[in-house]
Amino acid sequence: MKITVAGAGYVGLVTSACLAELGHLVTCIDIQKEKIDMLQSGRSPIYEPGLESMLEKNLSSGQLHFTMNPHHAYSDAEIIFIAVGTPEKHDGSVDLKYIHVVSNLIAYYIENDVIVCTKSTVPVGTNELIQAIIDSRKPPNLQVEVVANPEFLREGSAVLDFFHGDRIVIGTDHHKVASILEQLYLPLKIPILKTDIRSAEMIKYASNAFLATKISFINEMSNFCEKVGANIEEVTFGLGYDKRIGHDFLKAGIGFGGSCFPKDTKALLHLGGHINHPFDLLEAVINVNNRQQSLPVLKAKETIGSLKNKKVALLGLAFKPNTDDVRNAASLTIVKELLEEGAVVTAYDPLAIPNARRILGNTIEYADDIRAALRDAHLAIIATEWEQIKYVPLDVYQNHMRDPIVIDGRNCYPLHEIQKYPITYLSIGRPDVNNARQKKGWE
Ligand code: UGA
């Protein structure tokens, strides 16, 4: 089929490359010239495992095109996917300006009947708004059907998720349109759910809100474990055996970041305010997450006192491993709080330094390798569980740091390993190791 994808961000690019891989003729349009230039030369503006090779292959075979020209993109498309950003406004609500722009362009440039699928995460009612915008401006002889088709890809495994996702949601009341999309997705052999438009929009928010709740729940539990002398990893393991709970997505740490959970939880909370439905649970989820991101610096102060002029090695800047994305990453909160305390920060990350530098500039130093970051440090904070970080031999901390004190925000090391080294080690929801100042818990 002739498919157009509006937006060359994570969702748009992965969708474009994967649909081209499935044999469709795909055009991806974006307004950023720099991005389109890069893509046309076969380079990906984002790091996503498996993406660049797929882009190169489909560009050279002619299955995939990148353009800034809306006439080329929209005039003869059979299906248009909207995958533009829906950023957060200051009040936590969703900014739909790009959705408005794209809807208007589609209405203006289409020359055939077309199905418009919204992949962007949008509040309930947005697809009806898109339908109304297009209907009011399109040529009267053309038929346009807008479908809610939310995306569940995770950064860092987005290509894999496209081909092996848990479900595909198609939100439309139009049976013929639903079956065209069903045919499109059939080769993936992923369960397809057909719902009404509003329920499809809500499935996306409910999924992200539930996953965020799981994380805040386990993080709150981990703080409790610290106080009563239990180990969150043992607790989680035991918890996960209950099939109704499961083992997934219960890793305690310094909170969720990224471009989705923080934004979507706030958006749902904001929406609740508008429909007179205060979402108390979600408010607590957000508060727990904010508190969790501040734990490393709190623990640092409790352990070594003043951080003024202390050299701190920050290991990991990305909001999670296998991505160069630092949006809402715990590392940014940690840097802000360390600088407020007068600490001197050197950060290491295998991929995210360029993106972090755009936000943090020269307020901190950046190291190309972990040993350089640790050299003469009074303290190390692990913010991201990259393989390059969690498999660093423990004697590296011992040999390079001035004081081997490690605050591990992602529970990278087994406690029985740490115990073999003279390292003061504090993690999340587990007993401290060699912490002379360890507070006595509940006995
Ligand atoms: C999330 C969802 O997992 C995707 O299904 C969804 O499509 C996407 O948002 C979106 O709305 O576009 P993503 O933000 O890429 O995907 O990353 P996740 O792997 O979900 O991780 C989010 C955050 O939660 C990370 O900071 C991670 O460190 C944290 N996390 C995750 C935990 O702290 N504990 C866990 O057990 C799992």
- The predicted-structure confidence for 317-328, as pLDDT tens digits, reads as follows 999 999 999 999
pLDDT of residue 276: 85
High-pLDDT (> 90) share of the chain, %? 94
Q: What does each C-alpha distance from 310 to 284, 300, 338, 376 come to in angstroms?
A: 33, 11, 9, 10
Considering just the CA atoms, what is the radius of gyration of the chain in Å?
A: 24
Q: What does each C-alpha distance from 139 to 134, 135, 144, 254 come to in angstroms?
A: 9, 8, 10, 52
Catalytic residues: 260
Confidence class of residue 442 from pLDDT cuts 50, 70 and 90?
very low
From CA 290, how far away is CA 332, in angstroms rounded? 12
Q: How many CB atoms lie within 10 A of CB 32?
A: 14
Residue 273 pLDDT greater than 90, yes or no = no
For residue 113, what are the contacts with CB-CB under 8 A and spacing of at least 6?
A: 142, 143, 144
> Ligand 1, closest atom to CA 320?
28
pLDDT of residue 110: 98
Closest Cα to atom 30 of ligand 1: 256
Closest Cα to atom 13 of ligand 1: 154
**Contact 278/345 with Cβ under 8 angstroms?**
no
From CA 343, how far away is CA 296, in angstroms rounded? 13
Confidence class of residue 337 from pLDDT cuts 50, 70 and 90?
very high
CA of 320 to the centre of ligand 1 (A): 8
42 Rama sector, left if φ>0, alpha if ψ -120 to 50, beta otherwise = left
Residue 441 pLDDT greater than 70, yes or no = no
218 Rama sector, left if φ>0, alpha if ψ -120 to 50, beta otherwise = alpha
Alpha carbon 37 to chain centroid distance? Answer: 25
What residue ranges define each of the domains in the chain, with the CATH number in brackets? 2-195 (3.40.50.720), 204-290 (1.10.1040.10), 294-426 (3.40.50.720)
Residue 7 pLDDT greater than 50, yes or no = yes
With the most atoms of ligand 1 within 8 angstroms of its CB, the residue from 151, 161, 261 to mutate is 261
CA of 154 to the centre of ligand 1 (A): 6
Protein residues with CB under 6 Å of any ligand 1 atom: 121, 151-155, 208, 211, 215, 249-251, 253, 256-258, 260-261, 319-320
pLDDT of residue 439: 54
pLDDT of residue 253: 98
**Contact 306/371 with Cβ under 8 angstroms?**
no
Phi, psi of 426, deg, nearest 5: -120, 130
With the most atoms of ligand 1 within 8 angstroms of its CB, the residue from 215, 254, 333 to mutate is 215
Q: Provide mean pLDDT across the span 211-239.
A: 97
Q: What does each C-alpha distance from 421 to 273, 310, 369, 401, 404 come to in angstroms?
A: 52, 22, 22, 13, 10
> Ligand 1, closest atom to CA 156?
15
Closest Cα to atom 20 of ligand 1: 154
- The predicted-structure confidence for 56-82, as pLDDT tens digits, reads as follows 999 999 999 999 999 999 999 999 999
With the most atoms of ligand 1 within 8 angstroms of its CB, the residue from 153, 205, 236 to mutate is 153
- The predicted-structure confidence for 139-196, as pLDDT tens digits, reads as follows 999 999 999 999 999 999 999 999 999 999 999 999 999 999 999 999 999 999 999 9
* DSSP string over 198-249: HHHHHHHHHHHHHHHHHHHHHHHHHHHHHHHT--HHHHHHHHHTSTTT-STT
Q: Provide mean pLDDT across the span 208-237.
A: 97
pLDDT of residue 266: 94
Closest Cα to atom 3 of ligand 1: 154
pLDDT of residue 10: 94
Closest Cα to atom 12 of ligand 1: 260
SS3 425: strand
pLDDT of residue 226: 96
